[in-house]
DNA sequence: ATTCTTACTGAATGATTAGTCAGTATTCAC
DNA sequence: GTGAATACTGACTAATCATTCAGTAAGAAT
């Protein structure tokens, strides 16, 4: 019987829960699934999280925080506003089987009826929006971008990507990385009145 | 005890199920909820649908068919391609509390793990895409629109609206009908290289 | 009118699973 | 080393629900 301090164990459980949600979907995860995968008792999970609902919310919060940390790392990197913007958006964008996205589609569905969860998502989104609009503002200051309302522009861009995520994750439409990138560059270029080449477009479309 | 023929009863049950899904969310609907609301026994539901899973899939199929009927009515109406396109997209677009959209966000989540349901959604989306791309093609023939790939253009437009639906339904961001319409007009105008006024824009933005 | 088919019900069943709790073992404080 | 706090478990409980089934009655067929 391994004993850990509560803090470390909590994180371990959260990580496993996120993994299970990815695999089985949010509504199908059972406490026993998480416990079995960690080779501990179900009671251990309840001991640390009180209820299943809290566990799920905490797990999604944990996933959101990790995503935001990564976003922070991207935004703090060196590069022009255009480069940073594209780096952030490309990371946000669904790619491949978009496994990372499934959890958020699940979360959308659950959040419609769960206020606490909705708050987590709203906050996550607010931070994304803030980050994106900040680089847009920086670009506007530099004179490379043009935008009368960077927050709205950010909303439009992320909404577009959310919609594409649905196509890929739900409809299993295989949009290639190259296509997605091209669409994104096109959209950003138009939205911010900037040339596609400034966004790192490989070759202009004919 | 009222007796109805199977066909009519089925439809009645499907309508009530859709209503219940809207109210409670897909994963929370119980057979007893549907039965109680109709003042019949739970066994009646199973008698007509075999399993709950089938009931839910049939209910979403029913909802999809009704949406497509409405789409057909719009597309068969009189009007220029530009008018028809905007009518279709504005009906697709989430409005107000977007109650009608909740069911589809639920469906997205469920469809990621349910092949039968995914097929329903893929088909629904395929038909939307076909309809939208058809009017685009018609507009291109008329010389009002420009588009090198109407199917891809349709995907981009509906994806954008799906993303906005998430904002409204999940994040409860109140995007006004006017704002949404303005964003949509802007996007369509750019996507199809047409003037906003041709799309029924009330006043140009300053 | 009688039979047959079909729509329907009430009551039971069985499977699932979140959460409880009394107790055990480990670590920590001193 | 002793005791207290803490992490943890096994076995149980209680509740929830989909589904079954034996039977009932409405309506159709003859």
Render pLDDT for B130-140 as a digit per residue (tens, 0 to 9): 999 999 999 99
- Best mutation target among B110, B148, B159 (most A Cβ atoms within 10 Å) is B159
Query: What are the backbone dihedrals phi and psi of residue B132, each rounded to the nearest 5 degrees, phi first?
Result: -65, -45
> A33: which DSSP letter?
H
Q: Give pLDDT < 50 ranges for chain B.
A: 203-206
Mutant choice from A163, A168, A184, A188 vs B, greatest count of B C-beta within 10 A: A163
What would the DSSP string read from start to end of B45-70? HHHHHSSHHHHHHHHHHHHHHHHHHH
DSSP single-letter state for residue B154: H
Walk me through the domains of chain A, giving residue ranges and CATH numbers.
60-199 (1.10.357.10)
Tens digit of each residue's pLDDT, chain A (206 residues): 678 999 999 999 999 999 999 999 999 999 999 999 999 999 999 999 999 999 999 999 999 999 999 999 999 999 999 999 999 999 999 988 888 899 999 999 999 999 999 999 999 999 999 999 999 999 999 999 999 999 999 999 999 999 999 999 999 988 888 999 999 999 999 999 999 988 876 544 43
B158 HSE (CA, 13 A, CB side): 22
CA distance B52 to chain A (A): 16
- Out of A109, A121, A171, closest to residue B106 by CB: A109
pLDDT at A1: 62
Among B158, B111, B105, CA closest to B131: B158
Residues 115-134 of A with CB under 7 A from strand D: none
- Of the candidates B102, B164, B190, the beta carbon closest to that of A159 is on B164
What's the pLDDT score for residue B97?
A: 80
**Neighboring chain A residues of B102 at a CB cutoff of 8 Å:** 112
Q: What pLDDT is attached to residue B174?
A: 85
């Amino acid at each position: 019987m391994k004993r850990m301090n509560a803090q470390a164990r909590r994180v371990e459980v959260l990580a496993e829960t996120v993994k299970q949600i990815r695999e089985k979907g949010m509504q199908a995860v059972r406490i026993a699934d998480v416990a079995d995968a960690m080779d501990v008792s179900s009671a251990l999970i309840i001991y640390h999280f009180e209820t299943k609902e809290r566990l799920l919310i905490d797990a999604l919060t944990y996933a959101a925080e990790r995503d935001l940390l990564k976003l922070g790392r991207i935004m703090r990197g060196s590069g022009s506003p255009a480069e940073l913007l594209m780096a952030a958006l490309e990371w946000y964008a669904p790619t491949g089987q978009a496994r990372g996205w499934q959890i958020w589609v699940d979360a959308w569905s659950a959040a419609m009826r769960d206020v606490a969860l909705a708050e987590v998502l709203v906050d996550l989104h607010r931070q994304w929006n803030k980050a994106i609009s900040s680089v847009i503002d920086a670009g506007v200051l530099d004179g490379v971008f043009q935008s009368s309302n960077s927050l709205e522009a950010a909303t439009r861009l992320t909404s577009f990507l959310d919609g594409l995520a649905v196509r890929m994750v739900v409809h299993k439409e295989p949009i290639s990385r190259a296509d997605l990138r091209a669409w994104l560059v096109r959209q950003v270029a138009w939205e911010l009145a900037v040339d596609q080449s400034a966004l790192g477009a490989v070759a202009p479309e004919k």
